[in-house]
Structure 1
Amino acid sequence: MSSSRSSSRSSNLPSLRGLAALDALARHKRQGAAAEALGISRSALSHRIADLEAELGARLVTRSGRVSMLTDEGTALLAAMGDAIGRIEAAVAPLQRRLRQIRLSTVNTLAANWLLPRLPRFQRAHPDMEIAVLTTQRVVDLDGEDVDCAIRNGMGDWPGTEARLLFRETLVPAAAPGLALGRPSAWPVIRARARFHDWPLWWQQAGQKGDAPSGGMVVENRAQALEAALAGAGVVLTDARYLDTHLAAGRLRVLGPVIALDTGFHFVRSRAPRNPRNVEALARWLEEEGRSAPQAGWPPGASD
């Protein structure tokens, strides 16, 4: 019985959008200014107020030339409400912003060298969306953490997720232009702890003779390896797409062939994301970016 009374009370509450339109009109006097403040058209403003008047069965607004004035009933209604509209808007604003925001998790190397240089184009095309890029080495829980989607490296077979291939992973050696180098077997290589297998793999598939170099510098991850190469510390083995901006700027040069791996970088989302329309827009855009060819400075066949 109490549930029925609660439902009845809710159905008798006036439209919040109508009340906000009435409040804006009271503050700005003119329909055009009130509509602009709410981010809607003048027609939409008029419809919202008309619907509110129909709900309440009272005339709330009258016009005198181009100026809209509240009737006694409209003035009394807003006076009784006090600052309720402002408090409701303040309470709803964080939720609206969170629904506009996309929280994307990925590793630092991909974020810095592939994703972030491209994101301004997406935001110019979707100014109403906000992208928050979170970098971590671990695999985030898309259902249990405050993350909407991720770019992960692997085969794309993560349980409970939807994965779309952006591009296949590749390996290519590169070094700063001024670095003195001899034969490949004598290269001062830079190795990341988590990717020790990369150099023997590239060495074999690139047709190099003997064993892959094993000396040189050891760093924690690929982001540090790339930074070390940019500083002239040695030869880095990294994904070809990480080098686009560095090659174009002359900071690095390619030293050998690009080989493709079975793994790839995937856009990953839960099967029921919080803001599916925005996440889908980002997914399609990233797929298109992943299909684009590498930029200037690549040897023949590097984009295959």
Structure 2
Amino acid sequence: MGRSAQPSARALSALSLFATCGTLTEAAEHLGVTRSALSHRIAALEKQLGVALVRKAGRRIALTEDGERLLASVGDALDRIETAVQPFRRDRGQIRLSTVATFASHWLIPRIPIFQAQHPQIEVAIFTTTRPVDLKKEEMDCAIRHGRGAWKGLASTLLFEETLMPVASPDVADRLSSNAKQGWSGAPLIRARSRFMDWSSWQKHDRAFAGRRIKWLTVETRAQALDAAMAGAGVALMDMAYIATPVTEGRLKTLAECPLQLQTGYYFVHLPNARNLHLLTLLRDWAVEAARPFRTE
């Protein structure tokens, strides 16, 4: 009878990180995988070893005694293995990039095939999260962040400044334009919980807007706000970079002559001494060029 396979370092690392973080969700974010994927790694390890390594403790998941004994036996071996192989893994051609979901879905992912065609030897792995990842401690090579470009210890390069424009589906836009006296009060204004201040900024920009009666439709994310606007649910206030394609394709219409220029923007960030800096430079330079039409020169 053949010997059984040895437990994989990846599965052991998943269990170790769960023990460190305390929750499956936080451990999954650190690894850049889904919570389900992390659970499957641990479950596969349990099946291979024939013991339960985690258990439910009320609403929480905790290590069993077998899980604690296993990690105690492994000690710092996993950290030493990861330290040894990391330079080789990163240099083989993979870039792990973190950003927010709306930017990934509505700007980066539609354009990434162009980068892949130009650099077929580079594998790009895109992860989305609502929090800024720690590039010094987490398994990420770079990020695209929203802000003013000043992050301590990181090199940042502006992709484009943020510009806001009210948009609606063609049916809604035509209905509003046919009843100028009613103005935008004829349709709900769509706002994302993560960007509550956007409409306040627009009110200061558009003085005629300030006195209008407002009916709100509130959603969780800007991506949902964009989907709602295209579905005809109301007027959304979106970045010009996100609406370029649906406006060109006729799925949205702009409702103002000029966008509102904000002092924030999207930046490509990485550690100045990243091991795979030559790969990051290729991705950064491509992203800067792809973003050129959206910058205010």
Question: Above 0.5 in TM-score?
Answer: yes
Q: Quick one: distance in 1 between partners of 2:107 and 2:237?
A: 16
Give the counterpart of 2:159 among 161, 166, 183. 166
* Structure 1 residues not aligned, in runs of 5+: 1-91, 295-302
Q: Which position in structure 1 is the counterpart of 2:284?
A: 283
Q: How many residue pairs were aligned?
A: 206
**Maintained 8 Å contact 2:90/2:275:** no
Q: Which position in structure 2 is the counterpart of 1:240?
A: 240
Q: Which position in structure 1 is the counterpart of 2:272?
A: 271
Q: Quick one: distance in 1 between partners of 2:222 and 2:115?
A: 26
Residues 100-111 of structure 1: pairs in structure 2 closer than 5 A: 100-111=93-104
One-letter amino acid of the structure 1 residue matched with residue 236 of structure 2: V
Task: Measure how far apart 1:213 and its partner are.
Answer: 5.5
Task: Provide, for residues 13-59 of structure 1, a one-character-per-residue CA deviation record: whole Å limited to 9, x for no partner.
Answer: xxxxxxxxxxxxxxxxxxxxxxxxxxxxxxxxxxxxxxxxxxxxxxx
Task: Provide, for residues 72-128 of structure 1, a one-character-per-residue CA deviation record: whole Å limited to 9, x for no partner.
Answer: xxxxxxxxxxxxxxxxxxxx8x94577311111111111111111111111111111
**RMSD of Structure 2 on Structure 1 (CA):** 2.4
SS in 1 for 2:116: helix
**Maintained 8 Å contact 2:97/2:126:** yes
Give the counterpart of 1:112 among 105, 124, 129. 105
Q: Which position in structure 2 is the counterpart of 1:81?
A: none
Q: Quick one: distance in 1 between partners of 2:236 and 2:210?
A: 19
One-letter amino acid of the structure 2 residue matched with residue 201 of structure 1: S
Q: Quick one: distance in 2 between partners of 1:269 and 1:141?
A: 10
Answer with 1 or 2: which has the greater Rg: 1
1:226 aligns with 2:222: no
Q: Quick one: distance in 1 between partners of 2:212 and 2:278?
A: 47
1:217 aligns with 2:210: no
Q: Quick one: distance in 2 between partners of 1:212 and 1:145?
A: 47
**Maintained 8 Å contact 1:186/1:213:** no
Q: Which position in structure 2 is the counterpart of 1:203?
A: 203
Q: Quick one: distance in 1 between partners of 2:118 and 2:111?
A: 12
SS in 2 for 1:117: helix
Task: Provide, for residues 208-248 of structure 1, a one-character-per-residue CA deviation record: whole Å limited to 9, x for no partner.
Answer: 24346543211111111111111111111010110111112
When normalised by structure 1's length, the TM-score is: 0.63
* Structure 2 residues not aligned, in runs of 5+: 1-84, 177-181
Residues 1-304 of structure 1: pairs in structure 2 closer than 5 A: 95-96=88-89, 99-179=92-172, 180-181=175-176, 182-211=182-211, 214-256=214-256, 257-293=258-294
**Maintained 8 Å contact 2:165/2:239:** yes
Task: Measure how far apart 1:187 and its partner are.
Answer: 3.6
**Maintained 8 Å contact 1:203/1:212:** no
Q: Which position in structure 1 is the counterpart of 2:56?
A: none
Q: Quick one: distance in 2 between partners of 1:153 and 1:241?
A: 13
Task: Measure how far apart 1:285 and its partner are.
Answer: 1.0
Q: Which position in structure 1 is the counterpart of 2:49?
A: none
Q: Quick one: distance in 1 between partners of 2:264 and 2:184?
A: 25
Q: Quick one: distance in 1 between partners of 2:285 and 2:184?
A: 40
**Maintained 8 Å contact 1:99/1:274:** no
SS in 2 for 1:292: helix
SS in 2 for 1:143: coil
Where relative contact order (Cα < 8 A, 6+ residues apart) is larger, the structure is 2
Task: Provide, for residues 123-179 of structure 1, a one-character-per-residue CA deviation record: whole Å limited to 9, x for no partner.
Answer: 111111011111111111111111100110101111111111110011100011112
When normalised by structure 2's length, the TM-score is: 0.64
SS in 2 for 1:178: helix
Change (3 A) 1:105 1:177: same
**Maintained 8 Å contact 1:101/1:132:** yes
Identity %: 46
**Maintained 8 Å contact 1:191/1:217:** yes
Q: Quick one: distance in 1 between partners of 2:246 and 2:221?
A: 18
Q: Quick one: distance in 2 between partners of 1:193 and 1:141?
A: 24
Q: Quick one: distance in 1 between partners of 2:249 and 2:112?
A: 19
Q: Quick one: distance in 2 between partners of 1:128 and 1:209?
A: 51
